[in-house]
Structure 1
Amino acid sequence: MKLPVKLLGVSAALILAATAPVKADEIRITYKSAKTSSSYYQMGVQIAEAMKKGSNGEIIVTVEESQGSVQNVMEVKARGADYVFTSPPVLVKLAQEGKAMFAGKGNGRFDDIRALFPIPSLTMQFVMSSEAAVLTFPELAGKKLLLGKGSFGAREGAKYIKLFGLEGKVTLVDVELSNAVSALKNGQIDGFVTAGSWPAPNVVEAAASTSVNLISMDGEEVKKTKRTRMVIPAGTYAGQDDDIVTTSLPVIVYTTTQMDDDTAYQLTKTFWEQKKEMVGVAAWWEGVDDQLMVNITGKLHPGAIKFYKEVGFPIAKDQE
């Protein structure tokens, strides 16, 4: 997928900024994000612009492309005090414990990882044609569902199909997620699964071009997934009259203890002060508020803690 010309221009400006002479009062940060085609890369660019604007040019953020959160965490080994990156908290925990994909790759630097602030979560969204009359998971039986390929949403969607006893009862359509909206409109599928921030562009497109509904989970279903509960408010998508209960994978912006407290404080403070402006740029920032602080399962950076205590955000003892 190609990025919009405007976004490419911003990215190029950020790269050029990295080669410009450093002013004495500038804070220069490297923000390791995601693939350039992803919404999380776009979020990184938006954060970079917000930091520059909110600090009157004193905070300069260079956004780097990444192949994923595992790479972001691994690079902690070789990066310095200016390194900021995105990751689900579970990956940071696995790195610190030397488990799963980090088995045999442990490093003491992983223990130095500290959180700054949350960004939009990866939110599971089961989008169904209204004609399919599917409002619950049991009603998926006999339907055609597009999961996509290779993404978190595809893996998680397949997990839920098995978890809720639907394996062999749902026809899984093996095509790219980029074809989901047209396939839904043409009646080739009954629904598709996507994971990302909300409102998700492909769900917005689907809801605007045809009649759709999202599957809402009950409490027991959410519990079975062992994921974080998420509510997509009524009115997020065209024709959505009720809140949708689903699951999510939190995503947090991290740095390490190498970053000084004042820099961490300024980054955190500027992010929250600019968030309202960022909502005007992209609606996915609407879902970021102090209620997401509970999703940070590791320790916060002392500089971030200073800001949160100033504004009265909830801080748990194990986050300090």
Structure 2
Amino acid sequence: MRLLTSLLAASMLLGTATSVLSETRVTYKSAKTGSSYYQMAVELAEAMKTGTEGDISVTVEESQGSVQNVMEAGVRPGNYVFTSPPALVELSQSGKAMFEGKSNPAFANIRALFPIPSLTMHFVVSEESGIQAFADMEGKTILLGKGSFGATEGEKYLTLFDLEGKVKLAEVELSNAVAALKNGQIDGFVTAGSYPAPNVIEAAASTSVRLLSLDDKQVAATKRTPMLIPAGTYSGQDEDVATTSLAVVAYATTAMSDDIAYAMTRTYWEQKKAMAGTSAWWDGVDASLMESLGQLHPGAIRYYDEIGMQLSDAQRQ
């Protein structure tokens, strides 16, 4: 009789959990339409649908950037997921930099779910330019773009590597980088995105290019996370390319239920291999990126504990 009662209770709990998830709609705030991160969001939404057999339905929303994503975390309802570098979340919680005067107590409730492909720096130059190392960019025309992480970071690296004022900066939109490189208008361009980056794929397929590597000293000077772009990622790339990256994380808030956060985190990792079969950038996500995650959602912690993932005390707060 006790066994029957236990089975009935377990069945009721399972049924309740299923009914909760079957009604779940999640908003996923991503990036600009047409960007690699927007495409990732679409792939992730499909993976959630497949992995939960439709119990979790994800609607992808276009965003103008990570700052907007974080700002909206203070006013959006529970099932709101957004992407951002961890540093921006930390700035929002301390009310510094772009969040000065815009603090919101709700920012303290932001919690990480899982890492997604990192923003990886690409320094792409034409073979005709003769550039083989950063020092060779002196006197050359380089496109940084405007307003993006890649542009800001690229400008920082020019300063770090003693190239400030020694490089001609092209007044061309990053969206025109491949055409400008192909017709000789520029010698190279800087872009940040998960690898393989669509614009770098296009450049490598349409003309002979080289990706510049940073040495260990240069990587250390940037204070960013080291990243290797494996040989063969792009056409004509015969060797690994050493560069840097900035972690990007999918966040929710404590307004999301533990059950939904658990289901999304579990489904993400279980579907990651299938997603990599569609887009190679998911192969760049592994357990090593977990170090970049700050405070985790309790539902996500439940999943990581189940699989034996080592978490820090700070991540469990």
Could you tell me which of 93, 98, 102 is aligned with 1:96? 93
TM-score (norm 2): 0.90
**What is the alpha-carbon distance in structure 1 between the residues aligned to residue 37 and residue 144 of structure 2?**
20
Indicate the percent of aligned positions where both proteins have the same amino acid.
Answer: 65
The alpha carbon displacement at 1:168 in A equals 1.9
The alpha carbon displacement at 1:128 in A equals 1.0
Deviations 1:256-297 (A, max 9, x none): 11112111110000011111111122222121111111121x
8 A contact 1:293–1:314 mirrored in 2: no
1:317 is aligned to 313
1:19 is aligned to none
8 A contact 1:149–1:175 mirrored in 2: no
Is it true that 1:230 corresponds to 2:220 in the alignment? no
1:151 is aligned to 148
**What is the alpha-carbon distance in structure 2 between the residues aligned to residue 127 and residue 218 of structure 1?**
16
The alpha carbon displacement at 1:131 in A equals 2.5
Q: How does 1:132-147 map to 2 (within 5 A)?
A: 132-147=129-144
The alpha carbon displacement at 1:23 in A equals 8.1
Give the alignment's Cα RMSD to 1 decimal.
1.6
Letter in 2 for 1:317: D
Change (3 A) 1:192 1:24: closer
Deviations 1:35-68 (A, max 9, x none): 2232211111111111001110101111112111
8 A contact 1:290–1:314 mirrored in 2: no
Is it true that 1:207 corresponds to 2:207 in the alignment? no
Q: How does 1:1-320 map to 2 (within 5 A)?
A: 25-296=22-293, 298-320=294-316
Q: Which moved more, 1:165-174 or 1:93-102?
A: 165-174
Change (3 A) 1:24 1:225: closer
Change (3 A) 1:83 1:24: closer
Letter in 2 for 1:244: V
1:4 is aligned to none
Q: Which runs of 4+ in 1 moved over 4 A?
A: none
Deviations 1:123-171 (A, max 9, x none): 1100011222323211211221111222221121111112211012111
**What is the alpha-carbon distance in structure 2 between the residues aligned to residue 118 and residue 311 of structure 1?**
16
SS at match of 1:77: coil
Change (3 A) 1:86 1:225: same
Change (3 A) 1:313 1:236: farther
Higher Rg of the two aligned structures: 2
SS at match of 1:123: strand
The alpha carbon displacement at 1:205 in A equals 1.2
**What is the alpha-carbon distance in structure 2 between the residues aligned to residue 25 and residue 131 of structure 1?**
57
Letter in 2 for 1:312: G
Size of the alignment, in residue pairs? 298
